[in-house]
Chains A and B, each alone.
Chain A
C-alpha cells in the first residue's frame, strides 16, 4: 500500500500524454532539475577527493544503468559486464591513439564499437536462459579479458595503455574540476535516454520479456530480437562508461576489468534496486562511498587499542575488504528490494504521516 506513488490532491491528469511524463509530479521534476543545478556548482566548493568520488559515481553509474536495463528490465543475467566496460575503455583509447579520432568523438564511438561486441556475445546468449546464460556471459568475461591481455596492438597487452585527456577547442579536461562536467553531462544524457527508452514500445517490450517471456511471445514480441537488443544497449552503456573512465584516469590496464568488478556492478544494481533507474544511481553511490568509508574506519582503528588487542598489524588492510563484504551481505538481508524501494517508503511515510496506511 505504501508503495504506490501518491499524487497530491488537485494535480489532475487529463490526457494520456500528461500521464506518461518522466516525472510523476511537477515537484519531483523541479527537484531533479535542482539536483543537477546543485551538482553543477559542486566543483566550486568541493575538494578533489569528493569530486573524484562523484566522477566515479558518474561513469560507473552509466555502466551500471546498462546492466540494469539488461538484468532489471529485461530479466537476463550477465556476469561479464566489466569486460564490456573495459572494452569501451580500451576502444576509446585505441581510437584516439592509433586511429587519431579526437577524444570527444572517440567516447561515443567506443560506445558503438562496444555495442557491436555486445550484440556478438548477445546473439548466442539471447537463446539461453538462467544458469546457461550466466555461464555464457562468464565466457564473455574471460574471452574479453584474455583478449585484453594478448592484443598488444589494441590494449598495449599486460602493460596497459595511456589514454589522452579530453580536449575541446584547445581546452583540456584534465582536472577533476573540469572533467566533472563532462561526466555530469554524459550521465544526464544517458539517464534521460534510458528513462525515455522505458517509456517507448521497445522498452515496454523488454519489461514484458522480463515479466513473462511466454506471454510476451504470444503477444507477438520477438524474444530473440529483444534479448539481443538488450545486450547491445547494455554494452553501449558499459562502453560509454568505460570510455569516460579511460579518459579520466588517462591509463587503462587489463587488471581493472576482472570478474570481481562485474560482480560489483551486479551489487550496485541489486543494492540500488533492480528495474529502477534512480535506484541504479543510488546503488552506484553506495558502492563507491562504502570502500572509502571503510578505509576511513580502518585508518581510525589502526594504532588504537582494538588494533593492538587483536594484533592486526599488517592485516588491517584486509579489515576493509572484509567489512565491505559484510555490509553488502547485511544490506541484501535487510534491504532486499534495494535503496529505491526504501526511498519510496520513506516518501510515502511522510506523505501519509501521521497515518501509516
Chain B
C-alpha cells in the first residue's frame, strides 16, 4: 500500500506544481539533456539558461522578468511537439521559444508560424531561412524561425570553398573526392544536397554518402570505406560524440581524410576525448573568440557563467557561448518589442529586422554581427573556419589542456558565402 500512498503524494505534488501562474513573460526552452545530441545539447542549453537567468538578475525585459520553463525532451521530436502544444495556448502562452533540434524545429515550423511564436532554434537547417516560402527549392515558409549562426548549408559551402583552395595549396592532383557523412536523420541530412551540389560545381568528385549513427559506436567499417575509395574531404554531419568515434576509428585504420565537422561537430570537450584523432579537424565557429579569448564582451560572459558556476572556474565550450548569444539576441528583440507595442510574437519578429550587423550590447567581440530581413533569415553568411589542434596527451582537464596549449582551436580563415537568392531555404 505504501506505493499507492507515494503515488497519491506525487499526483498531489503535480497538482501543486502545475497550478503556478505567470505574471511575467513566459519563455519555453526545449533542451536535449539526455538524448542523442546531449553531448552538445547540455552546454548549449546551459548557456541559454544562464543567459536568461542573468538577464532576469539584471531586471529582465525593461523590468518584467522572464518565466523560463526548461524541458528536456530527449531529442525526440514527438515529445518536443507535445511540450510545445502545452506552451502554445492558454493564458500563459509563451512569447518566444528557445528550441534545439532539426527534426523538432522543422516539424514545429508550421505551428510557430500559425501561433506567431518566434522560435530561436539550436538547429541551423537551411530550410529554416526562408520566411516567405519563395525559395526555389520548395522550402516551406518559416516566418517565425530564427537562429544565431551560419546555416548548416552555408557553413558547409564555406568549408567546401576553403577545401577547394586547400586542395590547390596542397598541390593535389586531379579531382579531390568529397563525401557526406552522418546519420539518416533530418539534422545531418539538412545540408546534404546543398553541399553535394556545390562540391560538384567546385570540381570535387562526389562519392555516395556514408552513414553512421548519432550515437558513439564502432565505425571501423565506415572508415575502411573512406580509405578504400580514397576520400580527401569528408563532412561530418553529426554531433561531437559520434564524430569522435569516427575520428578514432579512422585514425586506427589509417584513413587520411580531411574531416570537416559542422558547428556541433567539434569543440574543446570533443578534442579532449578524441585526443590526437581530432588533430586537424576543420569546423565553423559561431563566436569570434573561444572561452580564453580576449574580447570586451568576455567579461559579461564570465558573469553569466557564474549563474551556474558560482566559483567562476568552469571552462565553457564554444556551444555554451553560442547559447548565450542566441539568448541575448532574443532578449534585445524583446526589449525593442516592449517599447513598441508590447512583448508579443509579431512584435518580437518585427524587432528582429530593426538592426543591421547586430551584436547584442555587452557581448562585443564575442557574438558575430548578424542581420535578419523580412525576406531572408540567413542571419550570418560569414563562416569563420577553425582548425582543432591537439598536440600531446589529453588526460588532464579541458581547462588545463587549453591553458597549456595542448588543445588549440586556431582560426584558418573567414569565408564570406555569397547570399544567393537561389540558395534561400536550401
Interface residues of A, Cβ cutoff 8 Å to B:
47-50, 52, 149, 158-160, 162, 175-176, 249-253, 255-256, 289, 292-294, 296-297, 299-300, 313-314, 317-318, 321, 327, 330-331, 334-335
Contact = CB atoms under 8 A, between A and B. Distances in A.
Given A49-B86, A160-B77, A255-B77, A149 B18 contact: no
B207 interface: no
A34 to B, nearest CB: 22
B308 to A, nearest CB: 8
B78 A253 contact: yes
Given A297-B10, A314-B33, A253 B103 contact: yes
B90 A48 contact: yes
Given A158-B184, A253-B77, A253-B107, A52 B86 contact: yes
B185 A158 contact: yes
A300 B34 contact: no
18 contacts: A50-B18, A160-B77, A160-B103, A249-B81, A249-B85, A251-B78, A252-B78, A253-B107, A293-B14, A296-B13, A296-B17, A297-B10, A299-B17, A300-B17, A317-B33, A317-B72, A331-B3, A334-B3
B11 A289 contact: yes
Contact of B189 (A50, A158, A160, A251): A158
Secondary structure call for the B interface: helix
Contacts of A50: 18
B280 interface: no
B45 to A, nearest CB: 9
B307 interface: no
Given A52-B86, A159-B186, A314-B42, A255 B17 contact: no
Given A52-B82, A255-B78, A317-B34, A293 B3 contact: no
A293 B78 contact: no
Secondary structure call for the A interface: helix
Contacts of B313: none
Interface residues of B, number: 33
Contacts of B252: none
Interface of B: 3, 7, 10-11, 13-14, 17-18, 33-34, 42, 46, 72, 74, 76-78, 81-82, 85-86, 89-90, 103, 106-107, 110-111, 184-186, 189, 308
A294 B10 contact: yes
A160 B90 contact: no
A255 B34 contact: no
B313 to A, nearest CB: 14
A176 B84 CA distance: 13
A296 B186 CA distance: 31
A318 B78 CA distance: 19
Contacts of B85: 48, 52, 176, 249
Contacts of B13: 293, 296-297, 300
A317 B33 CA distance: 7
Given A296-B17, A318-B34, 18 more contacts: A47-B90, A52-B85, A159-B103, A159-B107, A175-B89, A249-B78, A250-B111, A251-B78, A251-B107, A253-B78, A255-B103, A256-B76, A293-B7, A300-B13, A317-B33, A317-B74, A334-B3, A335-B3
Contacts of B46: 314
B99 to A, nearest CB: 14
A48 B89 contact: yes
Contacts of B186: 158-160
B231 to A, nearest CB: 24
Contacts of A321: 34
B10 A249 contact: no
Contact of B76 (A162, A255, A299): A255
A72 B98 CA distance: 44
A149 to B, nearest CB: 6
A43 to B, nearest CB: 13
A189 to B, nearest CB: 24
B10 A256 contact: no
A330 B86 CA distance: 31
3 smallest beta-carbon distances between A and B, as pairs: A293-B10, A256-B78, A317-B33
Contacts of B11: 289, 293
A321 B76 CA distance: 14
Contacts of B78: 249, 251-253, 255-256
Given A158-B189, A255-B103, A249 B82 contact: yes
A156 B212 CA distance: 20
A289 B3 CA distance: 14
Q: Which residue of A52, A159, A162 has the most chain B CB atoms within 10 A of its CB atom?
A: A159
A160 B107 contact: yes
Contacts of B42: 314
B143 to A, nearest CB: 17
A49 B83 CA distance: 9
